[in-house]
Amino acid sequence: MNVYQAVESRRAVRGFLDRPVPVEVLRRVLAAATFAPSGSNLQPWHIYVVTGAPLCQLKKLATERVTAGDPWDEREFEMYPRDLKSPYRERRSAFGRERYSALGIEREDWEARQRAAIANWDCFGAPAALFCYIDRDLGRPQWADLGMYLQTVMLLLRAEGLHSCPQMAWSQVRRTVADIVSPPDHLMLFCGMSIGYEDPAVEYIRTGRAALDETATFISD
């Protein structure tokens, strides 16, 4: 698989097989991902990889908590601006329509939407997950470094025949995650990522992308 194939085939998979991911594969991916770029080589990421019994326990605790209607943990960062402006507002709305349409869920069916959302806490059936933390004292440029690192991880997973789903939603139950991974106080949870082999029986709609002219400007002679 070349780089273009890895980029074009990478997507947020929300249905995984119950097939273990070898730990040596995860180690190989994360070892290679250390070469991801970061400003002044700060390497601001700290990763916890969770599999086996600890992941089963985390899934159980998070699912029970969300099902019981427990309030989210207080936010340590905003996922999206409160007043999302155009064109980002329309892109987010389109994503929601495409996502729930693929699941056969009507816009007004809030119970079905909630059931679909709860699948997050089961990692969509994935047998492995990672949780990405950052030092609280670092700034926006270092958060950008996290994005480059995580994209590198996801592309390397594709090279190994694996898929993934990055999930900022885990930050909403960060205390439950901390019960399992025990991070030091100076670290803040940015996101989780479900990792595994895609379940081909789960249907999906590939979400659209903005036209290149909307997001890129070429300046030349």
Supply the DSSP symbol for 200. T
Q: Is the separation of the CB atoms in 67 and 118 below 8 Å? A: yes
Give me the DSSP letters along 138-187.
--HHHHHHHHHHHHHHHHHHHHTT-EEEEEGGGGGGHHHHHHHH---TTE
Q: Is residue 195 part of a domain?
A: yes
Give pLDDT tens digits for 176-213: 999 999 999 999 999 999 999 999 988 777 888 889 99
Please check whether residue 137 is in contact with residue 185, taking contact to mean a CB–CB distance below 8 angstroms. Answer: no
Q: Reply yes or no on whether the pLDDT at 15 is more than 70.
A: yes
pLDDT at residue number 114 = 65
- Asked whether residue 218 is domain-assigned, the answer is no
Dist. CA 56–CA 67, nearest whole Å: 16
| 55-70 average pLDDT score | 93
Q: Residue 103 and residue 114: Cα distance in Å, rounded?
A: 12
In a domain, 109, yes or no: no
Domain that holds residue 48: 3-76+120-204
Question: What pLDDT is attached to residue 119?
Answer: 83
* Backbone dihedral region for residue 40 (phi beyond 0: left; psi -120 to 50: alpha; all else: beta): left
Domain holding 175: CATH number?
3.40.109.10
Strand partners, 194: 129, 165
Q: What value does the mean pLDDT take over residues 93-113?
A: 64
Task: Dig out the tokens for 28 from the structure.
Answer: 């190989």
For residue 173, what are the CA distances in angstroms to 73, 77, 193, 207?
A: 6, 13, 14, 27
Q: Give pLDDT tens digits for 30-47.
A: 999 999 999 999 999 999
Which pLDDT does position 202 carry in this prediction?
A: 86
For residue 103, tell me if it sits in a domain. no
Q: 83 in a domain, yes or no?
A: no
Question: 22 in a domain, yes or no?
Answer: yes
Which secondary structure element, helix H or strand E, spans residue 51, and what is its range? strand 45-51
What is the pLDDT confidence band of residue 69, given thresholds at 50, 70 and 90?
A: confident
Whether 220 is in a domain gets the answer no
**Would you say residue 146 has pLDDT above 60?**
yes
Give the total number of structural domains in the chain. 1
Q: Is residue 150 part of a domain?
A: yes
123: left (phi over 0), alpha (psi -120 to 50) or beta: left
